[in-house]
Structure 1
Amino acid sequence: MKELFSYCWRSIVDRGMFVRYVVACFLQALLGLATPFLVGSAINSLLAGGAGAGAAGVLCALVAALGTSSALAGYRGTLLYTYLQADSSFQLDVTATMHIQRLRPAFFEGFDPSFWRKRLDTDTNDLTVFFLQSVTGLIQNGGSLAVTVAILAAIDWRLSLVCAALAVATGLLYGAFGERIHAANSDFMEDLSGYSACMLSQLRDAPFVRRHSLFGWSESRMREAYTPLRSSMYEANMVGGRFSLASGLAGAVALGLLLWVSVVEVSSGRMAAGFVATAYGYFSTMTSSVESLAGFGHDYQSARVNYEHLRDLAAEPEEPRGEAVPEHVGEIAVEGLTATHPGSERVLLGGLTHTFERGRVYGVAGPNGCGKSTLMDVLTGLLEGCRSGRVSYDGVPLESVDQYALRERTVAFVEQAPEMVKGTLRDNVSLLAPGADRVEAERLLRRLGAERLVREDGLDRPVTGGDGGLSGGERQKVAIARALLKRPDVVVLDEPTAALDEDGRRDVEELLRTLRSDHVTFLVTHDDGLLAQCDEVVRLVE
């Protein structure tokens, strides 16, 4: 338990806000506890008659004032809780997501982003809610029990014992159902996560479904995910309903016993009649507190599942990473290089040995599946742990290189189907070099034949995510521009002319002549015309 609470505590960004939240919640509970006692005292004053009516009026005004203060404290606590819950959940979410992005390639074999998105949503939110509510709940409910028992004991010790005994009995009833409620809800949440992941994937795959008219297949997938969810939902509600029924029956019996004891105490003169209302109010408070405390263990077990999910994820090993950061790369050497992809036994690259030098353009050619993209991934550290042989940057082994810094500063990729980010054209062009000069960005786009993009709306043109509302050729030009804008030593171009027309192709050929002077340039392509522009062609075989 200490481990779980410590984990949650580290996710609280504003500790001062957390303290204010706890104080507000505890103050609300204490102010609320005064109400039943004051109501009973007011009734006693009214029954006394005479001057007691004036005292009853004062007590009624005090009840209103305390109730108002309690409501204000609750309102303040709600506002603080909103920020605390959102910030803590976000902190856990960011930590988990950033960790996933750095995991070994094997983790992503069969990776389902929709499942992980739903699972992280559930685990981070539920764990944060448990932590915030359990801390205040333990303080509020423990304090409420102690205060109510003390006040009732001061009024009538026999009534105090009866209230406590009946409240504990009602709480034990909750404990008897708690394990079944927890198990049923756990099954329901697991099925709900699977169902939500399935529905998300169907929305994500809508273009694929439409293209092939796979509507029947899509519906069957959704029905397969819904069937277990329907059963677990019914089971959870049935168990919860049975508990509510038993709790209602037990509460009714307990309340009858409490009122009977109160009548006996009033009749014997040991208690003023007005405190019957006080006993009734405190019995409800005590029962609620006992149920909450009894349910803490089950809530903790549920939160433990969320915590273990996140802990197991955090235990997944990240990619190996060195510390060296190559600068002004002169050559990249490979010796006896082979590679495999996670989950596959197929060996690629066939023990490749080669040296790639600055100032030269290297074409990488071969049939589909021969390992062209794999070679680029290996050279830039994306498949560390999935290769054998030696790779070095200016004599420094790749395993000693900080691969993230390598791809951030030294290597620039231009993908075959580049993604656009939501924002402006400038955001996209300067994505890899946030401090880049606007004039230089425009110059690069013009040089690549993207004059229309610059001329029509300039770099302030809005761009949506995905294809960004741009044609394939325009996206290719934006991707090339943003790669060059960060001034890399190594440039990787993957089928850069696939979406370009003849003019765009000529622009890329001209670009290659410029890159040759001061970069190690790799050109992955099937285009024989582009290969002819290279200084050397590395042909891979299956």
Structure 2
Amino acid sequence: MPGRECGWLVIRSIRIRQITMFRFWVRYLLHKPRLYFYLLLDVLSQLCSLAEPYLLGMTVNVLTVKKDLGSSLWTLVLCIFAIGVVAIVRSVLAYWTSLIYVDLQAHAGYQLNADTLEHVKRLPRKFFIGFDAGYYNQQINHDSNDLMIFGITSASNIIGGVATIICSLIMLMNINTAMATACLACIVAGALVYRLFSGLLFNRGFEFQEKTAAFFGALQSQLESVSFLRRHSLFDFYSLRLQKAFDGLYPAILANQKAGSRFELANQSIFSFAQFCLLAIGSCEIVAGKMPVGFLLTALSYYSTANSALVDLLSWGKSYQASKVSAQRLKRLWAMDEEENGSICIGSPVSLVCKGLSICRPDTDRIIDYPKLISFNRGVLYGVSGANGSGKSTLLDGIAGLYPDDYVGTIAYDDVDLGQIDSINLRSYVVGIAEQEPDVVNGTLRENLTLLAGDNYPVLEVGRLVDQFGLTKLVSTLPKGLDGVLDEQNHNISGGEKQKIAIIRVLLKDSPVMLFDEPTSALDGASRSALIDILQQKKEEHIVVVVSHDPELLEACDEVIEL
């Protein structure tokens, strides 16, 4: 029997439980060699940008200083040629860095997105009470990609930015000490401004992202409910709900924008003042004959380059607060304990026993008490009957391990307690469930029928079951027959056909334990008879349990348990 396929994810979950933003990057970015190749090319590109102003200044100096004509012309040609070579090199580096960036961001963002989704899918059922799929879809996707984008750009901005600022200051120091001092003062002032605004930016960013996710959840709810609202003409009701969601979002948008604008205003004021000082100092030095005219252009260009690097670094501070929000929200999900799960992988059980079983439904907090002893064995076709709300479907979910934290008593497969059993492995290989309201996934009819059976399904058996359950009409309506595409919105499939697909899925899976929840509620007479005949055959080598109100199906059962 194969073991649990995603055991690595549990190990990852335990190690990520106390994760910080940096450790997200360690997990998904810092082990990738492509990141360091990207950073190397990016730094080289930024250093090339520092060569151009110096060469430009040299060119202007040659044109303005009277020297030997031949020597000056040769120097001028060399400077112009060097400027062209540097520009070409920068373009090539920019091309490759952009390609590597996209590759890094796409793969890292997807992996964090997928791992977070896998963790969420393993959370306890109570987490999904009132679950807003739109909200979490927007949150997980946005936060995962935002965090990885920020990680890559952070490495680039910090390493490249610091290198650029240091090199620019060194070059400015060689040109003029006063100008270098003014530029350094600007950097210090910018750091102080960020320190002043950091808390405000984080709080406003957190509120904005939370409200945005809630709004998109409300928006998706509108789209998912189009058929329902059209049927009952609830246009005004849903419009008011969307307006209410926007009314909650807009104040957060405005507050976040105000905080960001104030931060930018303070930075821009410092930058403008520094530029004025550099122009004044440079002009005085030229008049005094202490600096060539060309190097004034070089100095101003270095200041502009250093200023851009500084803006990126300060913007990093602002972006850090926004990405810190993303990290906090992801950490909030990862901090939730996954559903309790055992470690034993059982084979093909011959008996299933429930003793003193009570299940608390997490969606209603209603406790359902079952008979003191319920036994299911091979060789017997079991029916479970009872009034609506008596817990028939809940019993099937319980013995399939879907309520690990919400039951008391004993559920045992061949004397192995359910709490010790790997419930994911159990449902993958031991238990098959045909739901009363099954889902159809985007894909072909064949893929839907063999969804639970894996790649090694019996090909001939598919056609035989399609004939037995009268799905030939559906097959004939699809352009490619069994390989025709169904869609999740079920536009081309009826309720009875969905139920037949769910039954065939379980029969093709051929798991040792087969559970059917109201399997005949939408079946025609011929399909009902076919199902009864098949179950009578399956019971000899399987534990077979059907929940039903259907008198004909219950009559065919060897033993009926009344709830």
Judging changes above 3 Å, is the alpha-carbon distance between structure 1 residues 188 and 321 closer, same or farther for their aligned structure 2 residues?
Answer: closer
Aligned to 1:144: 164
Judging changes above 3 Å, is the alpha-carbon distance between structure 1 residues 323 and 183 closer, same or farther for their aligned structure 2 residues?
Answer: closer
Contact 2:469 2:526 in 1 (8 A): no
Aligned to 2:542: 519
3-state SS in 1 of match to 2:361? coil
The size of the alignment, in residue pairs, is: 540
Aligned to 1:495: 518
3-state SS in 1 of match to 2:556? coil
Aligned to 1:452: 473
Deviation at 1:104, TM superposition (A): 1.6
3-state SS in 2 of match to 1:526? coil
Aligned to 1:535: 558
Distance 1:532 1:166 in 2: 88
Distance 1:403 1:464 in 2: 29
Pairs within 5 Å for 1:88-487: 88-170=108-190, 172-173=192-193, 175-342=195-362, 344-433=364-453, 434-453=455-474, 457-467=480-490, 469-487=492-510
Query: Unaligned regions of 5+ residues in structure 1, if any?
Result: none
3-state SS in 2 of match to 1:196? helix
Pair 1:29-2:46 in alignment: yes
Distance 1:13 1:515 in 2: 53
Distance 2:491 2:458 in 1: 22
Distance 1:399 1:162 in 2: 69
Judging changes above 3 Å, is the alpha-carbon distance between structure 1 residues 76 and 260 closer, same or farther for their aligned structure 2 residues?
Answer: same
The amino acid of 1:442's aligned partner reads G
3-state SS in 2 of match to 1:21? helix
Judging changes above 3 Å, is the alpha-carbon distance between structure 1 residues 437 and 351 closer, same or farther for their aligned structure 2 residues?
Answer: closer
Deviation at 1:40, TM superposition (A): 1.0
Contact 2:182 2:274 in 1 (8 A): no
Judging changes above 3 Å, is the alpha-carbon distance between structure 1 residues 232 and 314 closer, same or farther for their aligned structure 2 residues?
Answer: closer
Aligned to 2:3: none
Judging changes above 3 Å, is the alpha-carbon distance between structure 1 residues 152 and 415 closer, same or farther for their aligned structure 2 residues?
Answer: same
Aligned to 2:6: none
Deviation at 1:487, TM superposition (A): 1.7
Query: Unaligned regions of 5+ residues in structure 2, if any?
Result: 1-17
3-state SS in 2 of match to 1:347? strand
Judging changes above 3 Å, is the alpha-carbon distance between structure 1 residues 235 and 54 closer, same or farther for their aligned structure 2 residues?
Answer: farther
Contact 2:20 2:327 in 1 (8 A): no
Judging changes above 3 Å, is the alpha-carbon distance between structure 1 residues 316 and 379 closer, same or farther for their aligned structure 2 residues?
Answer: same
Judging changes above 3 Å, is the alpha-carbon distance between structure 1 residues 147 and 18 closer, same or farther for their aligned structure 2 residues?
Answer: same
Deviation at 1:343, TM superposition (A): 5.0
Mean Cα deviation higher: 386-395 or 11-20: 11-20
Judging changes above 3 Å, is the alpha-carbon distance between structure 1 residues 3 and 238 closer, same or farther for their aligned structure 2 residues?
Answer: closer
Judging changes above 3 Å, is the alpha-carbon distance between structure 1 residues 74 and 427 closer, same or farther for their aligned structure 2 residues?
Answer: same
Distance 1:227 1:471 in 2: 40
Aligned to 2:58: 41
Distance 2:371 2:288 in 1: 99
Deviation at 1:101, TM superposition (A): 1.1
3-state SS in 2 of match to 1:532? helix
Contact 2:175 2:299 in 1 (8 A): no
3-state SS in 2 of match to 1:329? coil
The amino acid of 1:34's aligned partner reads A
Distance 1:416 1:13 in 2: 47
Deviation at 1:39, TM superposition (A): 1.0
Deviation at 1:436, TM superposition (A): 1.1
**RMSD across aligned positions (CA):** 2.2
